[in-house]
Amino acid sequence: MLCPSRVFPLLLIIVFFIMIGVLLKPNVDLAPGWKDLSSHANLADYKVKTHKGYVSMEELNENVFQKFGYEIIRPTYPVPTLKMTHEPTCDNVFSEWKRIFKLPQPDIPVDTIPADRLEEFTLYNYTALGSFYKNDKNSKEGERPRNWDKLSELIKMPRQQLGGLAYGKDGVSMFDAMQAHRLDNMSGVVIGSMQPWVEVSALRSGVSKVLTVEYNNLTIQEEFKNRMSAILPIDFVTNWHQYAGKFDFAASFSSIEHSGLGRYGDPMDPIGDIREMLKIKCVLKPGGLLFIGFPLGTDAIQFNAHRIYGSIRLAMMMYGFEWIDTFSGDSEQPNDLTSERLHAAPLFGLVQNTLVLRKI
Ligand SMILES: *[C@@H]1O[C@H](CO)[C@@H](O)[C@H](O)[C@H]1NC(C)=O
Ligand SMILES: *[C@@H]1O[C@H](CO)[C@@H](O)[C@H](O)[C@H]1NC(C)=O
Ligand SMILES: *[C@@H]1O[C@H](CO)[C@@H](O)[C@H](O)[C@H]1NC(C)=O
């Protein structure tokens, strides 16, 4: 039998190890319905779907994530949870963006990825590459800003009609997400908007102020100028200190998947979309919400039209955020983004949902 004088130190040691375990547990929550396969996992045992078939998380860690400066910290499924090994400071994020933005650009967007950047763009071949060429640089036919003078009509539109203005059912997911996560009296920023339906969805959720960052000049209807304003991306970046950690929420739908592909006359940048996520993170308050929609499917680039986000690129995009909910537009309620749902469409097929993320 153990005598009490021996049991006590033993208990202390046990308590010590339990506390170490609690302290070392990564501070990342899972989205409802997501499976955390194991916190002591052998990454070779867990596979996600790619255009090459099922690939282990160990292989992705070595061949993709580490090359981009990330590492898997939890084998969550269908999107592994990553940490960035050397997260850039906000100063770096904005100054790098500005440097790249000022590089000289071709008159006509290129139709093939430059050979020396191919591996970065295709995630070292783990992203499928297809072609779908669009030239929207200074295009007259392309979409132009619309309905900024009709805000008083938009503000009264029913859910389906407002959400459906630009993207049909997919756009309704933004309206639903902002109703489920009310934004009463909050202030936020919207990235990239041809039509003000995201902004109006935010106003309908109780928002008091919304700033739109957009390449086109917008003329906002007079009665809304107390609640809405707009700024060009270059001015937003130049004055970023003014916005650092300031917004309660940010929103963007069908915009950042284009960043860095050159289609809109923007500079070629393999991680243009990831830079946008880091910029948004810098201007959100801790705990601030991000409502974001971009194409979901199996990882692919249809050059130069857009990227499609699957298990690999989604993992990198989500860094620094906790995934709270996913809305599809099919129902006002959120759904679980299972592997089946993520890969429901064939390769190069896509669906745009609104993901609700919280800045960690
Ligand atoms: C990617 O694929 C190309 C040809 O499709 C090949 O030349 C290249 O070596 C591959 N790169 C990697 C890292 O596998
Ligand atoms: C929003 O602000 C108004 C005026 O300050 C206040 O009356 C109202 O209760 C606030 N609403 C919420 C949900 O906080
Ligand atoms: C926006 O307005 C400014 C100043 O009026 C002008 O220089 C610029 O070309 C305009 N940009 C677009 C995209 O129309």
Closest C-alpha residue for ligand 2 atom 6: 185
Which amino acid is it at 202? A
Query: Which residues sit opposite 56 in a β-bridge?
Result: 47
> What are the two backbone dihedrals, phi and then psi, of residue 70, each rounded to the nearest 5 degrees?
-120, 165
Q: Using the atom order of ligand 1, give the atom closest to the CA of residue 124.
A: 13
Cβ of 124 closer than 6 Å to ligand 1, yes or no, is yes
At 23 the pLDDT is 47
At 32 the pLDDT is 55
In angstroms, rounded to a whole number, what is the distance separating the alpha carbons of residues 37 and 186?
A: 36
Which amino acid is it at 228? M
- Ligand 2 centroid to 182 CA: how many Å? 12
Secondary structure (DSSP) of 53-102: EEEEHHHHIIIIIGGGTEEEEE-EESS-EEEETTPPPHHHHHHHHHHHHT
Cβ of 182 closer than 6 Å to ligand 2, yes or no, is no
At 16 the pLDDT is 58
Which of 182, 184, 203 for mutating ligand 2's site (highest number of atoms within 8 Å of CB)? 184
Q: Collapsing DSSP states into helix, strand and coil, what is residue 355?
A: strand
**Cβ neighbours around 198 below 10 Å, total:** 30
Q: Which two tokens stand for residue 46?
A: 């867990």
Strands 247-253 and 47-50: unpaired
- Ligand 2 centroid to 249 CA: how many Å? 17
**Cβ neighbours around 238 below 10 Å, total:** 13
Strands 187-191 and 47-50: unpaired
At 145 the pLDDT is 84
Supply the Cα-derived Rg of the chain in whole angstroms.
22
Q: Is 126:63 a contact under the CB 8 Å cutoff?
A: yes
At 14 the pLDDT is 59
Peptide bond into 216 cis (omega under 30): no
CATH number of 93-359: 3.40.50.150
CA–centroid distance for 77 within its chain: 17
At 28 the pLDDT is 47
The helix (run of H) or strand (run of E) holding residue 289 is strand 284-296
Determine if residue 158 is left, alpha or beta; phi over 0 gives left, psi from -120 to 50 gives alpha, anything else beta. Answer: beta
At 26 the pLDDT is 43
At 137 the pLDDT is 86
At 34 the pLDDT is 64
Mind listing the pLDDT tens digit of every residue in the chain (360 residues)? 445 566 566 665 655 555 554 444 444 455 655 666 666 678 999 999 999 999 999 999 999 999 999 999 999 999 999 999 999 999 999 999 999 999 988 999 999 999 999 999 999 999 999 999 999 887 766 677 889 999 999 999 999 999 888 888 899 999 999 999 999 999 999 998 889 999 999 999 999 999 999 988 899 999 999 999 999 999 999 999 999 999 999 999 999 999 999 998 899 999 999 999 999 999 999 999 999 999 999 999 999 999 999 999 999 999 999 999 999 999 999 999 999 999 999 999 999 999 999 999
% helix, strand, coil for the chain, step of 5: 35, 25, 40
